[in-house]
């Protein structure tokens, strides 16, 4: 069974990861030729190994995926190893170095990307810019890895061996770019991270200098994700990045995060940051001085239910107060569903359509996670050293930025002022628009009558689109054959 002709692959970089290695290396060379890498080079200046400069080691590690090598071992087994004057232990020593400031390197890389986007893009007016905060599960196989344990995987609803990677990203509706990340484990009730005492005893550990970058990253592992996420947002918005909204899902939408974000005034912005996110409906809210359980509002205020043709749903909109925070809530029920979801915005003037349009941009981080796992080897590092995981994830995220930038200027940007009037026809749909197109197609065709959770449905469309198509095809082909 063929896919709907309007249903495009949910990926930002998939096409570039399927091209030949030569093409990808050319893409990499062209893009890095526009970068000013002097400051990044300086950060590697103290990491020389056996006469090899740290920046040159970094360059080799950076292009591994472009050359279709999954890890250093595959590189050393290839013909390229003859061109290297050192062995694989030089690479491993580099990755395990706790003194390399990967957070600063990644931020400098992000700034280079933003500078290129601003310099090469046409004037975009007052379109809002967004930060997106979310985490993803990274599966691992070795219990001897430093800080390793079992964490809850929301996709499988089970506890799996691995880690959570909390990521802060930036999107303008066209491209998603990662800015910062942290790695977390879950101690659990026993404090043993779901492992036995003897398994914890043989785990790898090392001593790090208290002033090293690796030491600071290690401290974040057991720190709650809300606190770390707030610090990430403050670090970039108060100093150099202009954004309007922070987009989060229901896990992050809490009193602490909302109050902290509302206290931030982004650099160059006229107003303080706003939050848009889903909120759990078991919260107690205040409307017109009366307290209600949020889940009861659709029943109590049923006369206020409106229909939205654009998003094929019913909704109710009210201003309310939660924990002393004023916001607007949008209770949403997709056509064919029984359950209502609550979307909130601290910008009380937003209409329902605008709030939904802005919130759709949050799904770009789900595509980012899928691409990094599927195409760039986000889960490939199996080192016992925690610092190697920080280094590997940083390089993967920078790889993604290069490919996303290339994708943006090939497919998303207009061809200049002469084509401005044809923009609506010529401009390819952004990744967020493609996600919603695919979601609507699948939801209307298959899931609406089953009362499937719409947020779960979108996530499955992103993560399992190919698998769903394959399963449906295998089921329908025999039925088709019997009708012939």
Q: Does residue 79 or residue 339 have the better pLDDT?
A: 339
Q: Give me the residues paired with residue 325 across strands.
A: 322
Of 358, 385, 413, the last residue of a domain is 413
- Report whether pLDDT(473) > 60: no
Q: Are β-strands 245-248 and 176-184 bridged in parallel, bridged antiparallel, or unpaired?
A: unpaired
Both tokens assigned to 455: 């947020």
* Containing structural domain, residue 438: 420-483
Per-residue confidence (pLDDT) for residue 481, from 0 to 100: 54
Per-residue confidence (pLDDT) for residue 417, from 0 to 100: 35
% residues pLDDT > 70 (the chain)? 75
How far apart are the C-alpha atoms of 481 and 484, rounded to whole Å?
5
Q: Which residues of 326-345 are buried (b: 16+ CB within 10 A; e: fewer)?
A: ebbbbbbbbebbeebbbbbb
- Report whether pLDDT(12) > 70: no
Per-residue confidence (pLDDT) for residue 414, from 0 to 100: 39
- Statement to judge: residues 394 and 427 lie in one domain: no
- Indicate the pLDDT class of residue 440, thresholds 50, 70 and 90: low
- Statement to judge: residues 89 and 64 lie in one domain: yes
DSSP label at 52?
B
Residue 384: which residues within 8 A CB-CB, separation 6 or more? 142, 144, 145, 146, 203, 204
How far apart are the C-alpha atoms of 445 and 429, rounded to whole Å?
22
How far apart are the C-alpha atoms of 116 and 409, rounded to whole Å?
10
- 259, 229 Cβ separation under 8 angstroms: no
- Statement to judge: residues 397 and 474 lie in one domain: no
Q: At what angle do helices 88-95 and 54-62 cross, to 10 degrees?
A: 100
In a domain, 63, yes or no: yes
Positive/negative CA dihedral, 451, 453, 454, 459: negative
How far apart are the C-alpha atoms of 112 and 357, rounded to whole Å?
28
- Indicate the pLDDT class of residue 86, thresholds 50, 70 and 90: confident
The whole-number average pLDDT for the span 217-235 is 95
Both tokens assigned to 323: 């924990």
- Statement to judge: residues 408 and 450 lie in one domain: no
In a domain, 477, yes or no: yes
Per-residue confidence (pLDDT) for residue 126, from 0 to 100: 65
The whole-number average pLDDT for the span 51-58 is 79
DSSP label at 430?
P
- 54, 46 Cβ separation under 8 angstroms: yes
- Statement to judge: residues 388 and 428 lie in one domain: no
Per-residue confidence (pLDDT) for residue 156, from 0 to 100: 77
In a domain, 331, yes or no: no
In a domain, 393, yes or no: yes
Mean pLDDT of the chain: 82
In a domain, 459, yes or no: yes
- Statement to judge: residues 117 and 32 lie in one domain: yes
How far apart are the C-alpha atoms of 335 and 164, rounded to whole Å?
34
DSSP label at 365?
H
- Report whether pLDDT(217) > 60: yes
**Range of weakest confidence among 28-37, 186-195, 233-242, 245-254:** 28-37
In a domain, 317, yes or no: no
How far apart are the C-alpha atoms of 460 and 475, rounded to whole Å?
19
- Report whether pLDDT(74) > 80: yes
- Report whether pLDDT(6) > 50: no
- Statement to judge: residues 399 and 446 lie in one domain: no
State which of 89-93, 150-154, 324-328 shows the largest mean pLDDT. Answer: 324-328
Of 413, 432, 463, the last residue of a domain is 413
**Range of weakest confidence among 109-118, 145-154, 467-476:** 467-476
- Indicate the pLDDT class of residue 259, thresholds 50, 70 and 90: very high
Both tokens assigned to 391: 């280094």
Whether the full predicted model's pTM is greater than 0.95, yes or no, is no
- Statement to judge: residues 408 and 463 lie in one domain: no
The whole-number average pLDDT for the span 234-260 is 91
How many structural domains comprise the chain? 2
- Report whether pLDDT(420) > 50: no
State CA 48 to chain mean position distance: 32
- Statement to judge: residues 24 and 84 lie in one domain: yes
Of 386, 413, 440, the last residue of a domain is 413
Give one word for 95, left, alpha or beta, with left for phi > 0 and alpha for psi -120 to 50: alpha
- 14, 371 Cβ separation under 8 angstroms: yes
Per-residue confidence (pLDDT) for residue 188, from 0 to 100: 85
Pick the closest to residue 297 from 337, 342, 253, 336 (CA basis): 342
Measuring CA to CA, how many Å separate 315 from each of 247, 411, 441, 456?
20, 35, 21, 19
Q: Which residues of 26-48 are buried (b: 16+ CB within 10 A; e: fewer)?
A: ebbeebeeeeeeeebeebbeebe
- 9, 16 Cβ separation under 8 angstroms: no
- Report whether pLDDT(4) > 50: no
In a domain, 15, yes or no: yes
Both tokens assigned to 83: 């061109």
- Report whether pLDDT(386) > 90: yes
- Statement to judge: residues 382 and 479 lie in one domain: no
Give the angle subtended at the CA of 319 by the CAs of 316 and 323, to the nearest 5°.
Answer: 120
pLDDT tens figures, 98-141: 999 999 999 999 998 888 887 766 555 568 899 999 999 999 98
- Report whether pLDDT(61) > 70: yes
Both tokens assigned to 122: 């046409």
In a domain, 266, yes or no: no
- Statement to judge: residues 426 and 392 lie in one domain: no
- Indicate the pLDDT class of residue 271, thresholds 50, 70 and 90: confident
- 367, 360 Cβ separation under 8 angstroms: no
- Statement to judge: residues 439 and 398 lie in one domain: no
Per-residue confidence (pLDDT) for residue 365, from 0 to 100: 94
State which of 25-34, 135-144, 155-164 shows the largest mean pLDDT. Answer: 135-144
């Amino acid at each position: 069974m063929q896919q709907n002709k309007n249903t495009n692959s949910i990926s930002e970089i998939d096409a570039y990861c399927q091209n030949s290695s030569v093409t990808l290396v050319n893409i990499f060379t062209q893009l890095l030729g526009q970068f000013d890498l002097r400051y990044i080079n300086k950060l590697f200046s103290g990491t020389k190994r056996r006469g090899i400069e740290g920046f040159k080691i970094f360059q080799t590690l950076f292009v591994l995926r472009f050359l279709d090598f999954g890890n250093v071992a595959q590189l050393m087994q290839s013909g390229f190893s003859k061109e290297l004057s050192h062995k694989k232990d030089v690479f491993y020593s580099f990755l395990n170095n706790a003194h390399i400031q990967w957070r600063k390197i990644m931020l400098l890389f992000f700034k280079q990307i933003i500078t290129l986007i601003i310099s090469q893009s046409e004037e975009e007016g007052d379109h809002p810019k967004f930060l997106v905060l979310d985490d993803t599960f990274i599966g691992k196989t070795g219990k001897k890895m430093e800080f390793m344990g079992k964490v809850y995987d929301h996709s499988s609803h089970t506890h799996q061996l691995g880690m959570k990677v909390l990521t802060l990203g930036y999107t303008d509706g066209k491209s998603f770019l990662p800015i910062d990340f942290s790695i977390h484990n879950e101690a659990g009730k026993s404090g043993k991270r779901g492992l036995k005492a003897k398994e914890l005893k043989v785990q790898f550990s090392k001593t790090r200098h208290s002033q090293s970058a690796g030491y600071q990253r290690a401290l974040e592992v057991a720190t709650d994700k809300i606190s770390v996420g707030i610090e990430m947002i403050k670090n970039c918005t108060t100093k150099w990045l202009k954004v309007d909204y922070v987009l989060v899902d229901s896990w992050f939408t809490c009193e602490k995060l909302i109050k902290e974000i509302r206290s931030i005034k982004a650099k160059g912005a006229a107003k303080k940051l706003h939050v848009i996110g889903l909120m759990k409906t078991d919260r107690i809210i205040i409307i017109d001085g009366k307290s209600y359980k949020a889940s009861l509002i659709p029943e109590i205020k049923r006369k206020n239910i409106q229909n939205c043709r654009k998003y094929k749903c019913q909704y109710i909109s009210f201003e309310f107060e939660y924990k002393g925070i004023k916001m607007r809530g949008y209770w949403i029920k997709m056509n064919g569903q029984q359950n209502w979801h609550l979307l909130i915005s601290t910008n009380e003037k937003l209409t329902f359509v605008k709030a939904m349009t802005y919130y759709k941009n949050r799904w770009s981080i789900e595509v980012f996670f899928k691409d990094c796992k599927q195409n760039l080897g986000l889960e490939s590092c199996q080192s016992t050293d925690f610092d190697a995981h920080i280094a590997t994830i940083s390089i993967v995220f920078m790889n993604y930025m290069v490919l996303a930038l290339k994708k943006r200027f090939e497919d998303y940007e207009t061809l200049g002022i002469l084509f401005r009037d044809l923009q609506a026809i010529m401009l390819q749909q952004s990744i967020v628009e493609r996600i919603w197109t695919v979601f609507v197609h699948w939801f209307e065709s298959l899931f609406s009558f089953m009362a499937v959770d719409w947020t779960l449905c979108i996530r499955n469309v992103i993560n399992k689109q190919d698998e769903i198509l394959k399963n449906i095809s295998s089921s329908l082909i025999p039925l088709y054959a019997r009708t012939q």
